[in-house]
């Protein structure tokens, strides 16, 4: 399967993987700040943007396989993946499968933990809601609570992006996220740099859980955004892109 992949700039490679239920355009401003020094690659995950959905019910490991195959097809042998939310779960699956491809990786408002029982039940309720009411009934109201400022000027842009995602894609990824395993062992075993960017106001990922994960390895660097929730890549592009720039530069040095 060929995915929609976008490239800006030249040099050492960064791979940006979007969250749920977005697409690669969420990174437009972010990648523009990095592409003067790096080759910045962004991808539409299967079923989002211009990429076709995987058939049947798939796992995040299946998604990781597809991305790795696309990278190899483009002869990209070394890249640092940064994954936002769902994208972070995909990054963990990719690194777990092929650690030799990655000089480091970053989780951006994401976690190596599996869903709690409460979160699994919440995903099941969303699945039933979408089956009953359609995808747009969910995506039209999904995004504003993830911003620290619900009146941020980019909220409409993100909402419109989300509303383009079809119900089958939403349901398939909700199931895949619900059923994923934790990757705490990867945080312990990976011997290269790991970055975790977290929002102090994130409603879904407590900062305390990020600090607990960071204690698993001395290779983990944690950056807490005191004024951000779950959308720091949009709300504070300057700060977050600078964090990623410094991390990637150190990985490649």
Q: Which CATH class is domain 5-115+181-252?
A: alpha beta
- pLDDT the model gives residue 189: 97
pLDDT tens-digit map of 67-86:
999 999 999 999 999 999 99
Q: Report whether 143 contacts 159 (CB < 8 A).
A: yes
- pLDDT the model gives residue 176: 98
The one-character DSSP state at 57 is S
**Interacting residues of 13 by C-beta distance below 8 A, sequence separation 6+:** 38, 39, 40, 41, 76, 78, 79, 80
User: How many angstroms separate the CA atoms of 219 and 221, rounded?
Assistant: 7
User: How many angstroms separate the CA atoms of 195 and 113, rounded?
Assistant: 15
Share of the chain above pLDDT 90, in %: 98
User: How many angstroms separate the CA atoms of 211 and 221, rounded?
Assistant: 10
- pLDDT the model gives residue 144: 86
User: How many angstroms separate the CA atoms of 39 and 247, rounded?
Assistant: 15
* Beta bridge partner(s), residue 84: 108
- pLDDT the model gives residue 74: 93
For the residues 169-181, what does the mean pLDDT come to?
Answer: 98
The one-character DSSP state at 227 is T
User: How many angstroms separate the CA atoms of 199 and 230, rounded?
Assistant: 6
User: How many angstroms separate the CA atoms of 172 and 184, rounded?
Assistant: 24
Tokens of 106: 């970053």
User: How many angstroms separate the CA atoms of 137 and 41, rounded?
Assistant: 31
pLDDT tens-digit map of 176-210:
999 999 999 999 999 999 999 999 999 999 999 99
User: 3-class DSSP state for residue 106?
Assistant: strand
Pairing between strand 13-17 and 5-8?
A: unpaired
pLDDT tens-digit map of 119-139:
999 999 999 999 999 999 999
**Interacting residues of 201 by C-beta distance below 8 A, sequence separation 6+:** 148, 227, 228, 229
User: How many angstroms separate the CA atoms of 20 and 84, rounded?
Assistant: 9
Before 251, cis peptide (omega within 30)?
no
All structural domains of the chain with their residue ranges: 5-115+181-252
- pLDDT the model gives residue 212: 98
Strand residue runs (E) in the chain: 5-8, 13-17, 39-43, 79-84, 105-108, 194-199, 220-225
- pLDDT the model gives residue 20: 98
User: How many angstroms separate the CA atoms of 70 and 76, rounded?
Assistant: 9
- pLDDT the model gives residue 171: 98
Q: Is the dihedral of CA 72, 77, 82, 86 positive or negative?
A: positive
The one-character DSSP state at 131 is H
- The upper half-sphere exposure of residue 146, i.e. CA atoms within 13 Å in the direction of its Cβ, equals 28
């Amino acid at each position: 399967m060929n995915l929609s992949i976008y490239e800006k700039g030249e040099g050492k490679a960064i791979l940006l993987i979007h969250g749920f239920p977005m697409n690669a355009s969420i990174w437009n401003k972010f990648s523009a700040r990095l592409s003067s020094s790096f080759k910045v690659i962004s991808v539409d995950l299967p079923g989002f943007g211009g990429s076709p959905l995987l058939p049947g019910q798939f796992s995040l490991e299946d998604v990781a396989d597809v991305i790795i195959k696309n990278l190899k097809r483009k002869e990209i042998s070394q890249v640092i993946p940064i994954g936002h939310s769902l994208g972070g779960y995909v990054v963990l699956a990719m690194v777990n499968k092929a650690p030799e491809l990655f000089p480091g990786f970053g989780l951006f408002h994401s976690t190596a933990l599996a869903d709690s029982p409460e979160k699994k039940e919440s995903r099941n309720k969303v699945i039933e809601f979408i089956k009953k009411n359609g995808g747009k009934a969910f995506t039209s109201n999904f995004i504003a609570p993830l911003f620290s400022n619900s009146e941020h000027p980019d909220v409409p842009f993100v909402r419109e992006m989300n509303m383009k995602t079809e119900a089958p894609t939403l349901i398939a990824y909700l199931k895949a996220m619900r059923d994923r395993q934790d990757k705490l062992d990867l945080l312990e075993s990976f011997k290269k740099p790991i970055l975790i960017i977290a929002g102090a106001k994130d409603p879904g990922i407590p900062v305390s859980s990020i600090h607990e994960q960071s204690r698993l390895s001395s290779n983990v660097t944690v950056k807490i955004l005191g004024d951000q929730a779950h959308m720091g890549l949009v709300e504070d592009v300057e700060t977050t892109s600078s964090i990623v720039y410094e991390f990637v530069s150190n990985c490649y040095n």
